[in-house]
Chain A
């Protein structure tokens, strides 16, 4: 009788200590964790129950799909959803509809590169219409965001970072501006656009 109580109290005492230690690791109480400011890789693409904006007390939350499950077969990237969406489409890993109802409807693709010269050391920018018209309609950008006329648009990194011009989508849904080389793709000595 007494020994069983003792056993119980030992278990009751150790469980919270273990839990406490575990939660200590989870909330990074150690001052010298490897990544202090950056989110470590294992915390990327968390399931809805653990992502910090979904309410784990909401019964629907547990039914939602964990992103990693969907992303598993897709080509990886180092920013955004950590998925290269353009490549995923090119490699037929996904087949998003171009029409709400008709799965067979094909997009109208425009294959035209616009090269914008850049001051300083950064390579010139190549804007590919092709990859954009795979996803979007001309009316999404023209004329509200970009005037469809050469030389008519002032674009700066500052305006992009503030969510204007390219920054309407890049930095919100499309790959973020930290992927500099995706746009600054043409070295100054190159003659042909990549």
Chain B
């Protein structure tokens, strides 16, 4: 009798452990990535790749805006440059630097293709996303009006 109770308890504990871990893993949190992170997802989802995240903060430590937005011709519009892998391996857009000479090369797929599948094209934390009322489909603005 006592033995089976302990067994039941132990099994119950194991289930609880599993449930607890599951709860932690699936705990849905609003996105709170870095200001100016650009998600590009014109083609990635459809092609079965994770969408691309371009971190402005990381690149502007190394390059002035002019290098990309004047010399390399990146238009000021998230998703507006219709970048694809052919252009990149031919040395355009990201490929002007991610060529194994200035920065690591294209074989590192998962450093660029690093977003959660289904994340829409966006400029993360942009003013429109920051309005307290969540913008539909903005990838989790998560109410945040600073100050």
Interface residues of chain A, those whose CB is within 8 Å of chain B, are 2, 5-6, 8-13, 15-17, 19-20, 22-23, 26-27, 37-39, 43-46, 48, 51-55, 58-61, 63-65, 67, 70-71, 78-83, 85, 94, 96-101, 107, 134-137, 139-140, 161, 163, 167-169, 171-173, 176-178
Contacting pair A15 B20 (CB below 8 A): yes
- Please report B residues at the A interface, Cβ cutoff 8 Å: 2-3, 6-7, 9-10, 12-14, 16-21, 23-24, 27, 29-37, 39, 50, 53, 55-58, 60-67, 69-72, 76, 96-97, 102, 108-117, 119, 123-128, 130, 132, 139-140, 142-147
Chain B hits for A58, CB < 8 A: 50, 110, 113-114
- Residue pair A13, B16 in contact (C-beta under 8 Å): yes
Kindly state the separation between the CA atoms of A82 and B147 in the bound complex, as whole angstroms: 12
Complex CA gap A26/B24 in Å reads 9
B residues in contact with A19, CB < 8 Å: 17, 20-21, 23-24
> How many angstroms between the C-alpha atoms of A79 and B142 in the bound complex?
16
Known: A16-B17, A54-B115, A134-B64. A176 touches B27 (CB 8 A): no
Q: How far is the CA of A98 from the CA of B17 in the complex (A)?
A: 54
- Shortest Cβ gap from B45 to chain A (Å): 12
Known: A51-B32, A60-B108, A140-B65. A12 touches B14 (CB 8 A): yes
Contacts of B17 in A (CB 8 A): 12, 15-16, 19
30 pairs, A vs B, C-beta closer than 8 Å: A2-B6, A5-B6, A5-B7, A6-B6, A8-B10, A9-B12, A11-B13, A17-B16, A20-B23, A37-B144, A39-B142, A46-B32, A53-B115, A53-B124, A58-B50, A59-B110, A60-B109, A64-B111, A79-B147, A81-B35, A94-B61, A100-B96, A100-B97, A100-B102, A134-B64, A137-B69, A139-B70, A161-B127, A168-B76, A176-B146
